[in-house]
Amino acid sequence: MPHGRVPPPARNLIGGEWLPATSGAVMPMISPIDGQPFAMIAESGPEDVDAAVRAARTALEGDWGRLTAAERGRLMLRLALRIEDEAEALAQLETRDNGKPVAQSRADMTAVARYFEYYGGAADKLHGEVIPFLNGYDAMSMREPHGVTAHIIPWNYPVQIFGRSVGAALAMGNATVTKPAEDACLTILRIGELAAESGFPPGAINIVTGRGMVAGQALSEHPGVDFISFTGSPEVGQAIHIAAARNHIPCTLELGGKSPQIVFDDADLVAAAPVIVNAIVQNGGQTCSAGSRVLIQRGIWERLTTMLAERFATVEASPAEGALLGPLISARQKARVERYIDEADAPLIARGRIAQDAPAAGFYVAPALFGPVDPTSPIAQEEIFGPVLAAIPFDSEAEAIAIANGTEYGLVAGIWTKDGDRQARMARAMRCGQVFINSYGAGGGIELPFGGVRKSGHGREKGFAALYEFSRLKTVVHRF
Ligand code: TAP
C-alpha cells in the first residue's frame, strides 16, 4: 500500500500558519485506487480566501517583498532540493490522492523540483532596459510583480501545475494564493510545508482548499487579487475571465484541447505508434495536451491502425506501480468517459482491459481506440479527458490541416513525416500553441512556452515566457 506522509489534517496554509476553515467544515478525500476516503481537507469559505489574500499582501509589504531577486531565487532552489529529498514519499502520497501509477507520480516530483530549480535560477535574470530618448532624459523600463497572484489548479497534474505557475510567480516577486482541486490537493499542501521549512517568509505561499464553486470563485472574484492563473475546463475558464475583467486584472487561462497527431504515409511508424498510444493513455488521458486524435494518411491506414490496435489491446488499467494506465480521478470522470465510449458513433478498433487485481470500487476504465471517426463527431470534437483515441483518415495535406484545425481547441499538434518541407509547412499551418515534429510532448517541456488559442485558452506558462506573464513593465522617465 502506498504510504506518503499526509500533511496537517484539514488545514489551510495562511500567513505561515496551518489553520482550519473558519466555519470548521471539512471534506473527505477519496482515493481513486479503491474509491475509499483516506484523509480530510478544510472546506474553506470566502472568509478563509480573504484571510489568505490579506496574508499575501502583508508578505508583499513585509519580509517577502524586501528580498532581492537573488534571495528569492535561492529560497526556490532550496525548495527544489527539499522536494528532491522527499520525492519518493511525495510520489506515494500523490498516487494515493490522484490515483496515477507511482512511476508517473515520480516523474511529476522530478518535474516540480525542476520547475522550482528553473524559476529559482531565472529569478534575477529578467530585467528592464534603458531606452534612447530625448536629450536631458534617461528613460528606462523595469519589471515589477503584479502583486498578489491567484493560482487555481486542476487535479490532473497538481504539483506540476503548482510548480509551473506558483514557481514563475514567486520568481518575479509576487505573493501567491493557491486553490488546488478538491479531488487532489494533498501533495500541494505537503509542498507548502516544505516551502516553510526552506525558509520562505510567511504569506509568500498560501494554500486554501475547498470547493471550486465556493473557495475558487471567491478567490477569482477577490478585489485584492492582481492576477489569476487558471488551468481547468473552458467553462470555468470563461467564468474566471469574466471575474478578471470585472476587477480589471490580467489572467492566463490553460483550458485543455483536442490535440491531433498527424501521420503521413512516409512517417517512421515504428517510432510513431508507441508515442501515439502513450500520448492518450498516460495519466489516464487526463492531460490537457493528450493526443486524443490521430489523423492517418489513407495509404498507411491499415498498417498503423493495426499497430495501434495491438498496443491498445495490451494496455491494462491497473493499480500496479509501473502501469501505463491507472484509475481515473473520480467516479464522475469515470462515468463521463464511459458515456463517451458507450455513445461513440464509430467502429471500435481495439479496447484494452481492466486488471483483475484492480479494486472493483476504483475508477478504472479500459482504453478505447475508435476509427474511422467522422471529424465532426463528438469523440473527434470534444475533450473527453480519458483514454479514448479517435483515428481519422485523410488523403491530402490540405485535408489534414483542415481536420487538425477543425475543432474549437488549439493547444498542441504532432506531425509525423520525413519530408522537411512538409514539416515546415505543417508547423506553420497548425492553429495551436505548440507543435512537435516526429515526437510528442518530449521531456515534459518545462523550458518551453506552453499555452493555447481560442477554447484552449490564452497566455503562456512554462519556460521564460511565463516570467513575462507574471510581471509587468513600468516605464520611468528621469529628466536631469
Ligand atoms: P474545473 O471545474 O474547471 O476545475 C479546475 C479548477 O477550478 C479546480 O481547482 C476547481 O476546483 C476550480 N473551480 C471549479 N469551479 C470554479 C469556479 N466557479 N470558480 C473558480 N474556480 C473553480 O474542471 P473539472 O470539473 O475538474 O474537470 C472538468 C473537465 O475540465 C475535464 O473533464 C476536462 O475536460 C477539463 N479539465 C481540463 C484541465 C486542463 S489541464 N486544461 C484540467 C482539468 C480538467 P474544484 O476541483 O474544487 O471544483
Kindly tell me the sign of the dihedral angle through the C-alpha atoms of 236, 242, 247, 248. positive
> Which residues contact residue 456 at a Cβ distance below 8 angstroms, ignoring those fewer than 6 apart?
254, 255, 256, 257, 288, 409, 410, 411, 432, 433
Residue 37's φ and ψ, nearest 5 degrees, are: -70, 145
pLDDT at 4: 59
In degrees, rounded to 5, the angle at the alpha carbon of residue 370 between the alpha carbons of residues 416 and 234 is 80
188-212 mean pLDDT: 97
pLDDT digits (tens, 9 = 90+) for 70-108: 999 999 999 999 999 999 999 999 999 999 999 999 999
Q: How far apart are CA 63 and CA 67, in angstroms?
A: 7
Q: Which residue has the cell 508578505?
A: 59
> What percentage of the chain carries pLDDT values higher than 90?
96
Say what percent of the chain tops pLDDT 70.
99
DSSP-derived letter for residue 296 is: E
What tens digit of pLDDT does each residue of 375-394 get? 999 999 999 999 999 999 99
- Answer yes or no: are the C-beta atoms of 141 and 191 closer than 8 Å: no
Q: Would you say the CB of residue 256 lies under 6 angstroms from ligand 1?
A: yes
CA 292 to chain centre: 16
Of 86, 117, 182, 254, the active-site residue reads: 254
288 is catalytic: yes
Q: What are phi and psi of 116, to 5 degrees?
A: -70, -35
More confident residue, 168 or 1: 168
Cβ-proximal residues to 338 (8 Å cutoff; 6+ apart), any chain: 365
Q: Is the CB of 232 under 6 A from ligand 1?
A: yes
| Inter-CA distances, 280 with 3, 13, 146, 259, Å | 28, 35, 36, 10
Q: Cβ(368) to ligand 1 under 6 A?
A: no
Q: Confidence band (pLDDT; 50, 70, 90) for 2?
A: very low
Of the CA atoms within 13 Å of residue 173, those in its CB half-sphere come to 23
How far apart (Å, rounded) are the C-alpha atoms in residues 95 and 242?
34
Q: Which of 8, 230, 4 is nearest to 106 (CA)?
A: 4
User: pTM here?
Assistant: 0.96
Is the CB of residue 285 below 6 angstroms from any atom belonging to ligand 1? no
Place of cell 503521413: 264
- The protein residue with its alpha carbon nearest to ligand 1, atom 14, reads 212
Contacts of 208 (CB under 8 A, 6+ apart): 12, 13, 14, 42, 44, 48, 49, 52, 177, 178, 179, 215, 219
Q: Tell whether the torsion through CA atoms of 284, 286, 287 and 290 is positive or negative.
A: positive
Ligand 1 in reach of 242 Cβ (< 6 A): no
pLDDT tier, 1 (very low <50, low <70, confident <90, very high otherwise): very low
The arithmetic mean of pLDDT across residues 328-354, rounded, is 97
Residue 218 CA to ligand 1 centre (angstroms): 15
Tell me which H or E stretch contains 104: helix 102-122
**Integer Cα distance of 118 and 164 in angstroms:** 9
Residue showing cell 497527431: 261
Tell me, rounded to whole angstroms, the distance of Cα 251 from its chain centroid: 15
Nearest-CA residue for atom 16 of ligand 1 = 212
**Chain centroid to CA 472:** 23
Distance in angstroms (rounded) separating the CA atoms of residues 379 and 292: 9
Q: What is the CA radius of gyration of the chain?
A: 23
Predicted local distance difference test score (pLDDT) of residue 280 = 97
